[in-house]
Amino acid sequence: MNRHEPAGRDPRPVDPHGPRPQGHCPDGGGPRGAGPHGAGPHGAGIGLRRGLLSGMHDLPDTALDFIEVAPENWIGVGGRFGRQFEALVERFPLVCHGLSLSLGGPAPLDIALLEDVRAFLDRYGACCFTEHLSACSDDQGHLYDLMPIPFTDEAVRHVAGRIRRAQDVLERRIGIEPVSYYAAPGQEMRELEFVNAVLREADCDLLLDVNNIYVNSVNFGYDPFEYLHGIDGARTVYVHIAGHYVEAPDLFIDTHGAPIVEPVWALLDAAYARWGALPTLVERDFNFPPMEDLLGEVARVRRLQSGAQARDPGGARTAGV
């Protein structure tokens, strides 16, 4: 679950439709999407945040297999930030994770935004694009947070139609991330049934966030391993792993502001045991530790991926492990 960073836009913005830097994506990028349906990331990566820019520039090329950004935070950004971003994209494969499409919202899809995102993905050779399975706007504007969607048949049809339309405009498949949530208004089916129904109806891919699964399992009292084994994980393009905040024994908050805890690592290993060594991204949005601490989490991801490869050499989707 990501939120917007400060815009920090330069008065001379970069044209998202302009010539793109070299860029590179394993097996090429392109409109087919990622994961089981096209080229995608491999190995282990980190989400790029403004607070991590300087530390990431000092990394060797072998430190990361890919990076992730929210396009909305970088479209039109020039100046120092724009130059730093382009230098990183020339070194590391890029995936993009959207914040603002509001796939479950009532307002019409923002076609202009989708077209800008498509140009951004094309310009930087992004391996894939993902978005949140949530609502974040209505006809009055943006809420700047990710709100839950009612788990109903009507919502499945509504969201799936919007995902299909988004895929048409973007000219590529997208992956959807089931978000962490703290209320379930109008619920008529289980979360797992809802997510699988949307994936099936929209024929889209999945961004599997194991921290969200763990947080939701605590807050709503279900078995996270049962959820993991029930989701259509064969559609996974890559995985998110992150930390959270414990507000109370029965209320965990998905913050991306703390180290990853052991139960979440266990879920990641279980996902690898089921679907192979899926590409995995470490998320950290604030409370940034020293870069070596984040690289320690990336190294642990790679160790788990190597273990999954050893268990099932033919089933892993990794690089650099």
Domains of the chain: 35-311 (3.20.20.150)
At 29, the pLDDT band (50, 70, 90 cuts) reads very low
Global pTM reads 0.86
Structure tokens at 111: 């076609």
Q: Which of 287, 244, 291, 290 is nearest to 264 (CA)?
A: 244
pLDDT at 5: 47
**SS3 label, residue 208:** strand
Q: How far apart are CA 41 and CA 93, in angstroms?
A: 7
Q: At 184, is the pLDDT very low, low, confident or very high (cuts 50, 70, 90)?
A: confident
Contacts with 126 (C-beta within 8 Å, 6 or more apart), sequence order = 23, 25, 29, 94, 95, 96, 120
Say what the pLDDT of residue 54 is: 85
State how beta strands 94-97 and 66-69 pair: parallel
Hey, what are 172's tokens?
A: 């590529």
Q: Is the pLDDT of residue 264 over 70?
A: yes
Contact between 300 and 272 (Cβ < 8 Å): no
Residues 97 and 67: beta-carbon distance below 8 Å: no
- Block residue for tokens 């039109």: 76
pLDDT of res. 25: 63
Token representation of residue 40: 């995608």
Report strand pairing: 135-138 vs 251-253: unpaired
Q: 292: Cβ–Cβ under 8 A, 6 or more apart, which residues?
A: none
3-state secondary structure of 202: helix
CA pair distance 305, 310, nearest whole angstrom: 9
Instruction: Assess whether pLDDT exceeds 50 at residue 66.
Output: yes
Instruction: Classify burial at 6, counting beta carbons within 10 Å of its beta carbon; exposed 0-12, middle 13-18, buried 19 or more.
Output: exposed
- Give the number of other Cβ atoms within 10 Å of residue 302's Cβ: 18
- Residue 29 — left, alpha, or beta (φ > 0 → left; ψ -120 to 50 → alpha)? beta
Return the minimum-mean-pLDDT range out of 4-8, 31-35, 310-314: 4-8
